[in-house]
Protein backbone atom coordinates (compact mmCIF):
# COMPACT_ATOMS: atom_id res chain seq x y z
CA UNK A 1 0.00 0.00 0.00
CA UNK A 2 1.38 3.38 -1.00
CA UNK A 3 1.53 5.98 1.77
CA UNK A 4 0.99 9.42 0.26
CA UNK A 5 2.36 12.70 1.56
CA UNK A 6 -1.17 13.88 2.38
CA UNK A 7 -2.08 10.71 4.32
CA UNK A 8 1.23 10.89 6.17
CA UNK A 9 0.61 14.57 6.89
CA UNK A 10 -2.85 13.70 8.22
CA UNK A 11 -1.32 11.12 10.57
CA UNK A 12 1.28 13.62 11.74
CA UNK A 13 -1.48 16.18 12.21
CA UNK A 14 -3.43 13.84 14.50
CA UNK A 15 -0.34 13.09 16.59
CA UNK A 16 0.60 16.77 16.74
CA UNK A 17 -2.95 17.74 17.74
CA UNK A 18 -2.81 15.32 20.69
CA UNK A 19 0.59 16.75 21.62
CA UNK A 20 -0.73 20.30 21.56
CA UNK A 21 -3.81 19.33 23.54
CA UNK A 22 -1.69 17.78 26.27
CA UNK A 23 0.91 20.56 26.30
CA UNK A 24 -1.07 23.73 25.81
CA UNK A 25 -4.23 24.15 27.86
CA UNK A 26 -6.44 21.56 26.22
CA UNK A 27 -5.58 22.54 22.66
CA UNK A 28 -6.73 26.14 22.99
CA UNK A 29 -3.49 27.24 21.33
CA UNK A 30 -4.84 25.99 17.99
CA UNK A 31 -7.56 28.35 16.78
CA UNK A 32 -9.32 28.51 13.43
CA UNK A 33 -11.07 31.57 12.00
CA UNK A 34 -13.37 31.58 8.97
CA UNK A 35 -13.51 35.24 7.88
CA UNK A 36 -10.73 36.03 7.27
CA UNK A 37 -9.68 32.40 6.78
CA UNK A 38 -6.67 31.41 8.90
CA UNK A 39 -5.45 29.23 11.75
CA UNK A 40 -3.03 30.08 14.57
CA UNK A 41 -1.17 27.51 16.63
CA UNK A 42 2.03 26.73 18.51
CA UNK A 43 4.99 24.88 16.98
CA UNK A 44 7.89 23.45 19.04
CA UNK A 45 10.30 25.70 17.10
CA UNK A 46 13.56 25.43 15.19
CA UNK A 47 15.60 22.26 15.82
CA UNK A 48 18.97 22.54 17.51
CA UNK A 49 20.74 21.02 14.50
CA UNK A 50 19.64 24.02 12.42
CA UNK A 51 22.49 25.86 14.16
CA UNK A 52 25.19 23.24 13.54
CA UNK A 53 27.28 25.47 11.27
CA UNK A 54 26.38 28.86 12.72
CA UNK A 55 25.24 29.48 16.32
CA UNK A 56 23.26 32.56 15.25
CA UNK A 57 22.03 32.01 11.67
CA UNK A 58 19.98 28.79 11.27
CA UNK A 59 20.39 26.65 8.17
CA UNK A 60 18.07 27.79 5.37
CA UNK A 61 16.62 24.36 4.58
CA UNK A 62 15.85 23.63 8.24
CA UNK A 63 13.93 26.92 8.48
CA UNK A 64 12.00 26.01 5.32
CA UNK A 65 11.18 22.55 6.70
CA UNK A 66 9.75 24.01 9.91
CA UNK A 67 7.73 26.53 7.91
CA UNK A 68 6.45 23.74 5.66
CA UNK A 69 5.44 21.76 8.78
CA UNK A 70 3.31 24.71 9.81
CA UNK A 71 1.87 25.05 6.31
CA UNK A 72 0.78 21.39 6.27
CA UNK A 73 -0.62 21.50 9.78
CA UNK A 74 -2.54 24.70 9.12
CA UNK A 75 -3.92 23.42 5.81
CA UNK A 76 -5.39 20.36 7.51
CA UNK A 77 -7.30 22.32 10.14
CA UNK A 78 -11.06 22.22 9.71
CA UNK A 79 -13.59 25.05 9.89
CA UNK A 80 -16.54 23.88 12.04
CA UNK A 81 -18.96 26.57 10.86
CA UNK A 82 -18.34 25.48 7.25
CA UNK A 83 -19.16 21.80 7.64
CA UNK A 84 -15.63 20.92 8.78
CA UNK A 85 -14.12 21.68 5.37
CA UNK A 86 -10.34 22.06 5.50
CA UNK A 87 -8.92 25.54 5.78
CA UNK A 88 -7.57 25.90 2.24
CA UNK A 89 -9.75 23.24 0.53
CA UNK A 90 -6.69 21.53 -1.01
CA UNK A 91 -7.79 18.19 0.45
CA UNK A 92 -11.23 18.58 -1.12
CA UNK A 93 -9.70 19.53 -4.48
CA UNK A 94 -7.50 16.43 -4.39
CA UNK A 95 -10.60 14.32 -3.84
CA UNK A 96 -12.00 15.91 -7.02
CA UNK A 97 -8.98 14.82 -9.07
CA UNK A 98 -6.68 17.84 -8.79
CA UNK A 99 -3.11 18.31 -7.62
CA UNK A 100 -1.77 21.55 -6.21
CA UNK A 101 1.42 22.72 -7.99
CA UNK A 102 3.39 25.66 -6.62
CA UNK A 103 4.16 28.43 -9.11
CA UNK A 104 5.72 31.23 -7.03
CA UNK A 105 7.27 31.45 -3.57
CA UNK A 106 8.64 34.26 -1.43
CA UNK A 107 10.36 33.79 1.93
CA UNK A 108 11.10 36.87 4.00
CA UNK A 109 13.26 36.67 7.11
CA UNK A 110 13.44 39.26 9.87
CA UNK A 111 16.61 40.20 11.72
CA UNK A 112 14.96 38.80 14.85
CA UNK A 113 15.48 35.31 13.40
CA UNK A 114 19.23 35.88 13.78
CA UNK A 115 19.04 37.61 17.17
CA UNK A 116 20.16 35.24 19.97
CA UNK A 117 18.10 37.28 22.44
CA UNK A 118 14.85 36.30 20.67
CA UNK A 119 13.76 32.76 21.70
CA UNK A 120 12.86 30.35 18.89
CA UNK A 121 11.39 27.59 21.10
CA UNK A 122 8.46 27.36 20.82
CA UNK A 123 7.11 29.68 18.12
CA UNK A 124 3.64 30.95 17.31
CA UNK A 125 2.54 30.17 13.77
CA UNK A 126 -0.28 31.02 11.42
CA UNK A 127 -1.49 29.74 8.07
CA UNK A 128 -4.13 31.43 5.98
CA UNK A 129 -5.87 31.81 2.64
CA UNK A 130 -4.09 34.75 1.06
CA UNK A 131 -5.85 35.60 -2.19
CA UNK A 132 -7.40 34.14 -5.33
CA UNK A 133 -6.86 35.59 -8.81
CA UNK A 134 -8.49 33.49 -11.51
CA UNK A 135 -7.26 29.93 -11.08
CA UNK A 136 -4.18 30.92 -9.04
CA UNK A 137 -4.43 30.82 -5.26
CA UNK A 138 -2.01 32.41 -2.78
CA UNK A 139 -1.42 31.10 0.74
CA UNK A 140 0.70 32.49 3.57
CA UNK A 141 2.47 30.90 6.53
CA UNK A 142 4.22 32.86 9.28
CA UNK A 143 6.34 32.14 12.35
CA UNK A 144 6.54 34.55 15.27
CA UNK A 145 8.42 34.63 18.57
CA UNK A 146 6.22 32.96 21.19
CA UNK A 147 6.24 35.60 23.91
CA UNK A 148 6.76 38.85 22.01
CA UNK A 149 4.91 38.02 18.76
CA UNK A 150 7.90 39.41 16.83
CA UNK A 151 7.82 38.14 13.18
CA UNK A 152 10.57 35.64 12.34
CA UNK A 153 9.74 34.11 8.94
CA UNK A 154 6.95 34.64 6.43
CA UNK A 155 6.40 32.25 3.51
CA UNK A 156 3.98 33.31 0.78
CA UNK A 157 3.17 30.79 -1.96
CA UNK A 158 1.06 30.87 -5.10
CA UNK A 159 -0.24 27.63 -6.55
CA UNK A 160 -2.22 26.31 -9.50
CA UNK A 161 -4.51 23.31 -9.47
CA UNK A 162 -3.59 20.71 -12.07
CA UNK A 163 -5.76 17.93 -13.48
CA UNK A 164 -4.30 14.68 -12.17
CA UNK A 165 -4.86 12.80 -15.44
CA UNK A 166 -3.77 15.40 -18.00
CA UNK A 167 -1.33 17.34 -15.77
CA UNK A 168 -2.75 20.52 -17.29
CA UNK A 169 -3.52 23.61 -15.23
CA UNK A 170 -7.21 24.14 -14.53
CA UNK A 171 -8.48 27.18 -16.44
CA UNK A 172 -11.14 27.80 -13.81
CA UNK A 173 -11.91 26.59 -10.31
CA UNK A 174 -15.17 25.01 -9.09
CA UNK A 175 -17.85 27.41 -7.92
CA UNK A 176 -17.98 25.74 -4.50
CA UNK A 177 -14.25 26.46 -4.07
CA UNK A 178 -14.61 30.13 -5.00
CA UNK A 179 -17.74 30.72 -2.94
CA UNK A 180 -16.13 29.10 0.11
CA UNK A 181 -13.00 31.28 0.07
CA UNK A 182 -13.70 34.52 -1.78
CA UNK A 183 -13.98 37.47 0.59
CA UNK A 184 -11.99 35.67 3.28
CA UNK A 185 -8.48 36.72 2.18
CA UNK A 186 -5.71 37.75 4.57
CA UNK A 187 -3.78 39.55 1.77
CA UNK A 188 -4.64 42.44 -0.54
CA UNK A 189 -3.26 40.71 -3.63
CA UNK A 190 -1.80 37.44 -4.83
CA UNK A 191 1.89 36.63 -5.26
CA UNK A 192 3.47 36.69 -8.72
CA UNK A 193 7.26 36.54 -9.02
CA UNK A 194 8.75 38.09 -12.15
CA UNK A 195 11.30 36.31 -14.32
CA UNK A 196 14.98 37.06 -13.84
CA UNK A 197 16.85 39.08 -16.48
CA UNK A 198 18.51 36.91 -19.11
CA UNK A 199 21.51 35.37 -17.41
CA UNK A 200 25.07 35.95 -18.45
CA UNK A 201 27.08 33.14 -20.03
CA UNK A 202 29.68 33.79 -17.33
CA UNK A 203 28.29 31.74 -14.45
CA UNK A 204 29.36 29.09 -12.01
CA UNK A 205 27.45 25.96 -12.94
CA UNK A 206 27.04 22.59 -11.33
CA UNK A 207 25.29 19.47 -12.60
CA UNK A 208 23.08 17.47 -10.26
CA UNK A 209 20.72 14.53 -10.60
CA UNK A 210 17.18 14.71 -9.28
CA UNK A 211 16.81 11.75 -6.94
CA UNK A 212 13.86 9.55 -6.07
CA UNK A 213 14.07 10.97 -2.56
CA UNK A 214 13.37 14.43 -4.03
CA UNK A 215 9.97 13.32 -5.31
CA UNK A 216 6.63 14.11 -3.70
CA UNK A 217 3.25 12.43 -4.20
CA UNK A 218 2.57 14.56 -7.27
CA UNK A 219 5.22 12.57 -9.13
CA UNK A 220 7.71 15.40 -9.41
CA UNK A 221 10.38 17.07 -7.30
CA UNK A 222 9.17 18.77 -4.12
CA UNK A 223 9.49 22.56 -4.11
CA UNK A 224 12.26 22.33 -1.48
CA UNK A 225 14.40 20.41 -3.99
CA UNK A 226 14.94 23.51 -6.14
CA UNK A 227 15.98 25.65 -3.19
CA UNK A 228 18.06 22.93 -1.54
CA UNK A 229 20.08 22.13 -4.67
CA UNK A 230 20.58 25.83 -5.41
CA UNK A 231 21.72 26.47 -1.84
CA UNK A 232 24.14 23.53 -2.08
CA UNK A 233 25.59 25.06 -5.25
CA UNK A 234 25.97 28.37 -3.43
CA UNK A 235 27.93 26.68 -0.64
CA UNK A 236 29.99 24.81 -3.22
CA UNK A 237 31.01 28.00 -5.02
CA UNK A 238 31.93 29.74 -1.75
CA UNK A 239 33.97 26.75 -0.61
CA UNK A 240 35.79 26.66 -3.93
CA UNK A 241 36.42 30.40 -3.83
CA UNK A 242 37.79 30.48 -0.29
CA UNK A 243 39.49 27.10 0.09
CA UNK A 244 40.22 25.54 -3.31
CA UNK A 245 43.77 25.92 -4.61
CA UNK A 246 42.47 25.76 -8.20
CA UNK A 247 40.32 28.88 -7.91
CA UNK A 248 41.79 32.08 -9.27
CA UNK A 249 40.94 35.07 -7.11
CA UNK A 250 40.50 38.16 -9.27
CA UNK A 251 37.75 40.58 -10.20
CA UNK A 252 36.26 37.92 -12.50
CA UNK A 253 37.90 34.69 -11.35
CA UNK A 254 37.72 31.54 -13.40
CA UNK A 255 38.77 28.11 -12.18
CA UNK A 256 40.46 25.41 -14.21
CA UNK A 257 37.15 24.05 -15.55
CA UNK A 258 36.18 27.37 -17.10
CA UNK A 259 33.74 28.23 -14.35
CA UNK A 260 33.22 31.89 -13.48
CA UNK A 261 33.05 32.35 -9.73
CA UNK A 262 30.77 35.22 -8.60
CA UNK A 263 32.88 38.19 -7.61
CA UNK A 264 31.40 39.19 -4.26
CA UNK A 265 29.96 36.02 -2.74
CA UNK A 266 31.77 35.06 0.47
CA UNK A 267 31.05 33.05 3.60
CA UNK A 268 31.05 36.34 5.51
CA UNK A 269 28.13 37.65 3.45
CA UNK A 270 26.12 34.43 3.76
CA UNK A 271 26.74 34.25 7.53
CA UNK A 272 24.83 37.52 7.99
CA UNK A 273 21.63 35.59 7.34
CA UNK A 274 19.20 35.53 4.47
CA UNK A 275 16.87 38.49 4.07
CA UNK A 276 14.66 37.32 1.22
CA UNK A 277 14.33 34.34 -1.12
CA UNK A 278 12.17 34.41 -4.24
CA UNK A 279 11.48 31.42 -6.48
CA UNK A 280 9.66 31.08 -9.79
CA UNK A 281 8.73 27.46 -10.58
CA UNK A 282 8.45 27.19 -14.35
CA UNK A 283 8.51 23.52 -15.31
CA UNK A 284 8.34 20.18 -13.53
CA UNK A 285 11.55 18.51 -12.42
CA UNK A 286 11.42 14.69 -12.46
CA UNK A 287 13.46 11.93 -10.77
CA UNK A 288 16.37 10.90 -12.96
CA UNK A 289 16.64 14.31 -14.60
CA UNK A 290 20.14 15.72 -14.87
CA UNK A 291 19.89 19.43 -14.19
CA UNK A 292 22.43 22.22 -14.37
CA UNK A 293 22.32 24.96 -11.75
CA UNK A 294 23.82 28.31 -12.70
CA UNK A 295 24.70 30.90 -10.06
CA UNK A 296 25.83 34.44 -10.79
CA UNK A 297 25.69 38.01 -9.57
CA UNK A 298 24.98 41.33 -11.23
CA UNK A 299 25.36 44.68 -9.45
CA UNK A 300 24.27 43.78 -5.90
CA UNK A 301 27.02 42.08 -3.86
CA UNK A 302 24.43 40.65 -1.43
CA UNK A 303 22.17 39.13 -4.10
CA UNK A 304 22.79 35.71 -5.65
CA UNK A 305 20.83 34.61 -8.74
CA UNK A 306 20.13 31.01 -9.76
CA UNK A 307 18.74 29.24 -12.79
CA UNK A 308 18.03 25.50 -12.75
CA UNK A 309 18.04 24.19 -16.32
CA UNK A 310 17.64 20.94 -18.23
CA UNK A 311 18.92 20.06 -21.68
CA UNK A 312 16.14 18.99 -24.05
CA UNK A 313 17.70 18.04 -27.37
CA UNK A 314 19.45 21.12 -28.70
CA UNK A 315 17.47 23.42 -26.43
CA UNK A 316 17.77 24.39 -22.79
CA UNK A 317 14.64 24.41 -20.66
CA UNK A 318 14.59 26.66 -17.58
CA UNK A 319 12.92 24.79 -14.71
CA UNK A 320 13.19 27.32 -11.92
CA UNK A 321 14.66 30.75 -11.18
CA UNK A 322 15.67 31.80 -7.67
CA UNK A 323 17.13 34.89 -6.03
CA UNK A 324 18.67 34.95 -2.54
CA UNK A 325 19.38 38.26 -0.81
CA UNK A 326 21.44 38.51 2.38
CA UNK A 327 21.42 41.07 5.19
CA UNK A 328 23.98 43.81 5.67
CA UNK A 329 26.45 43.20 8.54
CA UNK A 330 25.00 43.74 12.00
CA UNK A 331 26.63 43.95 15.40
CA UNK A 332 24.15 41.32 16.61
CA UNK A 333 25.41 38.67 14.19
pLDDT > 70 in the chain, percent: 86
Q: Each residue of 73-118: pLDDT tens digit?
A: 999 999 998 998 999 999 999 999 999 999 999 999 999 999 999 9
Q: Quick one: pLDDT band at residue 282, thresholds 50, 70, 90?
A: very high
Residue 239 has pLDDT above 90, yes or no: yes
Q: Grade residue 54 by pLDDT with cuts at 50, 70 and 90.
A: confident
What average pLDDT does the segment 141-156 reach?
95
- Count CA within 13 A, CB hemisphere, residue 208: 24
Spell out the domains of the chain, with CATH numbers in brackets.
Answer: 1-192 (3.10.129.10), 195-333 (3.10.129.10)
Q: At what angle do helices 5-23 and 60-75 cross, to 10 degrees?
A: 90
pLDDT of residue 294: 97
* Confidence at residue 256, expressed as pLDDT on a 0 to 100 scale: 38
pLDDT band at 330 (very low <50, low <70, confident <90, very high): low
Instruction: Give the pLDDT confidence of 56-78 residue by residue, as tens digits.
Output: 899 999 999 999 999 999 999 99
Distance CA 157, CA 147 (A): 26
Whole-number pLDDT of residue 24: 45
Asked whether residue 333 carries a pLDDT value surpassing 60, the answer given is no
Distances (CA, A) of 219 to 211, 270, 285, 289, 315: 12, 33, 9, 13, 24
- At 2, the pLDDT band (50, 70, 90 cuts) reads very low
| Angle formed at CA 58 by CA 56 and CA 59, multiple of 5 degrees | 140
The predicted-structure confidence for 201-228, as pLDDT tens digits, reads as follows 999 999 999 999 999 888 899 999 999 9
pLDDT in tens, 13-38: 566 556 555 544 444 489 999 999 99
Confidence of residue 3 (pLDDT cuts 50, 70, 90): very low
Q: Could you read off the pLDDT of 294-314 as tens digits, one per residue? A: 999 999 999 999 999 999 888
Q: What is the rounded distance in angstroms from the CA atom of residue 99 to the CA atom of residue 63?
A: 25
Report the chain's mean pLDDT, rounded to a whole number.
89
Give the confidence band of 11 by pLDDT, cuts at 50, 70, 90. low
DSSP codes, 188-256? SS---PPPPPPPPS--EEEEEEPPGGGB-TTSSB-HHHHHHHHHHHHHHHHHHHHH-TT---SSS-B-T
pLDDT confidence tier of residue 324, bands split at 50, 70 and 90: very high
Instruction: Determine the average pLDDT of the residues in 110-129.
Output: 94
Q: What angle, 0 to 180 degrees and rounded to 10, lies between the N-to-C axes of helices 60-75 and 223-243?
A: 170
Distances (CA, A) of 214 to 208, 223, 289: 12, 9, 11
d(CA 43, CA 124): 6
Amino acid sequence: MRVTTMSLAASVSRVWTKYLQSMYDGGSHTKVNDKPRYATFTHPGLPLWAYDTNPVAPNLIDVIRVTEDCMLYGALQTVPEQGNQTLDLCKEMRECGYWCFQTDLELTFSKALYDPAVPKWPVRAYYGHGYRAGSLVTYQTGLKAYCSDVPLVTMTCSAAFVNRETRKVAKSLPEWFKSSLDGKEILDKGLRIGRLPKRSNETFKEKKMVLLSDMDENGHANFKTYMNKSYETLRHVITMKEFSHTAEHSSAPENCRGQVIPQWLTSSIVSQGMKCLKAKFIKECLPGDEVCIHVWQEDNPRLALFSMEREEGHKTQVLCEISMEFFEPSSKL
